Amino acid sequence: MLFKKREPVTEFVPTFLKEDRSALRKIHEMISGAQNHIYIVYPWITLGEEFIIPFENALSNNKDVEVYLITKLEKEDVFRRLHQLDDVERWKSIFGDNISIKYNNNLHAKMIIVDDTEMIAGSSNLTGSGLGSSRDYEGKPQIEANIYTNDRKAVENGVGFFVRLWSHKTSNKYVNDEYVLSCKSYHLSGIYQRYRKDFDKIVNQEKMRVKDDGTLKFNGILGYLDSKKAYVLGKTRKDIAVKLLRDSRSLNSSKIGDEVEISGKFNRIEGHSEFTIKELSKGTDKFNINDLRLGLSKIKINGEVVSIEEVIEMETKYGSKILTLVKIKDDTGDITLELWDNIIPSGKLKYGIKLEITNGYTKVHEGELRLGLQKNDGKIKLLGV
């Protein structure tokens, strides 16, 4: 015979305090050798950084290797740091579109399957305590028992289990919906209450401005928006979010994924609460054009018409709409003003006329900062030449 038939291998791979880290070594070996896909099922993940090098090894084998992760996502776990959402976000940044994630809050199983040819399953979680981390801050090392096998029938059964779990109605897609973002907000709340040094690091990372009176200003990425609240993600730390309790109008011009600026005061935090702030009062603020920046609302500003840049007729599902782009200036600068549906009668808008704008807001269109009027209470007054 030219080739000897491969004998199936089954090994016991424990974690025994810090003395035996066989499970972690075996997981590294399996992931590093992946050629096509990796199935990962673990309810708790806090040691994601341990897998960066094995993941990179797998990508060097095949840049299109795919990862399918099923995990658990409950607020209490995130608050208690049994689950670090930044590990999940880090994996997403490595694999991009080639990682698919679901969460199932009934999950207690722990296993990894690589290329439908080998599997490890047992009691260890992907945590410092479950894998015997040598770093004290990762938690107290535990004693865990796991089995590795490349037995064809056993792995086939494991794949069948994974497919059933992935397609089950209790497994939900991990997207930035309200539930996932509330867990991220919860994560920030837990850090704020229990780990103030870590919270201060996040404040610096995200360039949050926190005043002594509890007022916070925060530039982030809009992740969720409805008429009563918004979740704004960190620009650097995608695993954290601030929940803004808000007036329904202030972010109406923004889309999911836009960079926005929010400001408000911390809500009183009791127990396992979300990290929320209440939006500041809605008084109208007077601005010069040079002071305008993305994310402002309830703006009052005076300007002079420099030119009418463009008049655009658009067909929408609500009928025909007309957008007029007007360049206005003051002593500090100029900006494009968006006016919809002839809010100023034809012939009244001309070069040199002075305007007073009340309840405006700022937005960005194709990289250009623009000024618009709030839909319900935006007003424009002609002051003459």
The model's confidence at residue 316, banded by pLDDT at 50, 70 and 90, is: low
- 194 HSE (CA, 13 A, CB side): 13
Q: What is the pLDDT of residues 86-96, one digit of tens each?
A: 889 889 989 99
The more confidently predicted of residues 3 and 157 is 157
Q: What is the pLDDT of residue 36?
A: 96
Q: How far is CA 64 from CA 34, 102, 364, in A?
A: 11, 20, 35
Complete domains list, the chain, with CATH: 10-173 (3.30.870.10), 178-279 (2.40.50.140), 285-384 (2.40.50.140)
**If you count them, how many residues does the chain have?**
385
Q: Calculate mean pLDDT across residues 336-351.
A: 78
Burial status of residue 381 (CB atoms within 10 A of its CB: 0-12, 13-18, 19 or more): exposed
Residue 357's alpha-carbon distances to 29, 153, 192, 345, in angstroms, are 64, 73, 40, 16
- Token readout for 233 is 């993600």
Q: Does residue 314 sit in helix, strand or coil?
A: strand
More confidently predicted of 377 and 205: 205
pLDDT 10s digits, 92-124: 989 999 999 999 999 999 999 999 999 999 999
* Per-chain mean pLDDT for the chain: 85
Please state, as a whole number, how many other Cβ atoms lie within 10 Å of the Cβ of residue 99.
20
pTM of the model: 0.69
CB atoms within 10 A of CB 323: 13
pLDDT in tens, 174-233: 998 999 999 999 888 888 888 888 888 998 999 888 777 667 888 899 999 887 888 999
Structure tokens at 335: 């900006």
- How many Cα atoms within 13 Å fall on the side-chain side of residue 123? 10
59: CB partners within 8 A, 6+ apart? 65, 94, 95
Distances in Å between the alpha carbon of 180 and those of 96, 143, 204, 269, 314? 19, 31, 24, 20, 36
Tell me the two tokens of residue 107: 């999950």
Q: Is 334 in contact with 351 (CB distance < 8 Å)?
A: no
Residue 285 pLDDT class (50, 70, 90 cuts): low
Contact 138, 131 (CB under 8 A): no
User: What is the phi/psi pair of residue 68, to 5°?
Assistant: -120, 115
Q: What is the largest CA-CA distance in the chain?
A: 98
pLDDT tens digits, 219-276: 899 999 887 888 999 998 888 999 888 654 567 778 888 888 888 777 655 555 788 8
Tokens of 29: 């070996």
